[in-house]
Chain A
Amino acid sequence: MKTPKLRTLLAAYAGLILTAVPVLAHHSFAAEYESKEITLTGVITKVEWTNPHIYFYIDVKDASGTVVNWAVEGYPPNTLKRTGFTRDDLKVGDTVTVTAYRAKDSADRVAGREITFPNGGKKFAGPAAGGGPPSDYK
């Protein structure tokens, strides 16, 4: 008798926790980006540590040797700072690997997820697709 009740209650709590998913601060993720993850490796050419989102740009060489400059969007600066990702982590000239979600308009622009830095360290630059946004924006 107690067990199912407890399960229900725990499920209710899990529900509460699930509502606390990461969010892009001011817009819908799904309206702008695909949910399929891609991986890009390239050299950082520019960093915009700006609101409402940071952007950095990487030169990525495709199979034919053509270089394309991709824009990578991330969390707002304050969110990154609070999760341990600082402006100095992104250095122009560094080669980084980024898992990301491509823009639905097929532009050379992605929502960045996990960054692998030259020293092998990894940090999240933005939310997982589907992880946000958030009940509030649905």
Chain B
Amino acid sequence: MTIHLARLLTIAALSACLGLSQDSKPIPRTANGKPDLSGVWQGGGVSLYGEPGLSKRPAAPPPVNPPPKREPVPYQSWAETKTKTFTAADDPTLACLLPGVPRITSMPMPFEIVQTPKEIVIAYESFHAFRIIPINDKLQHPNDLVPTWMGDSVARWDGDTLVVDVTGFNDKTWLSGTGSFHSEDLHVVERFKLNSDDTITYTATVTDPKVLTKPWTTGALLRRPANTRVEEYECIENNQDAAHMHLKK
């Protein structure tokens, strides 16, 4: 039994290491043959994984297609210096502002993907965010974009992977951790790959030539939280934390 499990783990992990997709088991598909991404998904948090150190929930098996390991953001040296001028008190989400892309995918709250042949809609619980993403093989954005917190998204199918191209960002969100600022030239390409173990491997490639030395790739494994629907999260209702932060600049 143990040996069998070990073999399975080894095979799955080796496949992942080699970048091979040996995940040939069937996945649910829509009427037009595309992978069916619809439903409620989540990237992390206790409502998905339970409390650490406790065995209240069965441990999730290793994913068949793990996301890439998160690397540090490759800032240009002046930009690296600037990141250190920020503290957690400067976090835009502390003020209940939208987290931007790709950061919103890792928030510990669920989101629902609604899929039609013409568009994908993602309704996030966190910060009431939503994205209406037209499917457009040329990945053409509108020509009247004004910079926004969540940017403008368009998508196309690359085989069985949904590729979402996001641009039109303002420079007010953070990419990841404290101080991880960017410019309005931020461009994000996300990939959503539905796996046979009912997970989505999410990767985001981030380019911003004004502040980064090279593209930065991050990712998350999305799972379906049990018995969960997307509900209201009115963050500003009783937001005391900003006033309670006493951080040295």
> A residues within 8 Å of B by Cβ?
2, 5-6, 9-10, 12-13, 15-17, 19-23, 25-28, 30-32, 48, 50-53, 55, 73, 75-76, 78-79, 82-83, 103-105, 107, 109, 124, 127-128, 131, 134-138
Q: What is the CB-to-nearest-CB distance from B134 to chain A, in angstroms, rounded to a whole number?
A: 28
Closest chain A CB from B186 CB (angstroms): 17
Is there contact, CB below 8 Å, between A6 and B9? Answer: yes
- Interface residues of chain B: helix, strand, loop or mixed (majority): loop
Residues of B within 8 A of A134 (CB): 44, 106, 108
B246 A53 Cβ-Cβ under 8 A: no
Chain B residues proximal to chain A, CB less than 8 Å: 6, 9-10, 13-14, 44-52, 59-60, 62-63, 66, 69-70, 87-89, 91, 93-94, 96, 103, 106-109, 125-127, 176-178, 221, 225, 227-228, 231-242, 244-247
Query: Are B47 and A82 in contact, with the CB atoms below 8 A?
Result: yes
Q: Is the CB of A51 within 8 A of B109?
A: no
Please tell me which one of the listed residues B14, B44, B88, B93 contacts residue A31 in the complex, with CB atoms under 8 A apart: B88
**How far does the alpha carbon of A51 sit from the alpha carbon of B96 in the complex, in Å?**
10
A82 touching B176, Cβ below 8 Å: no
* Nearest CB on A from B47, distance (A): 4
- Whether A103 and B244, one on each chain, are in contact in the complex, defined by CB atoms closer than 8 angstroms, is yes
A15, B45: Cα distance in complex, Å: 15
Bound-state CA distance A3–B215 (Å) is: 35
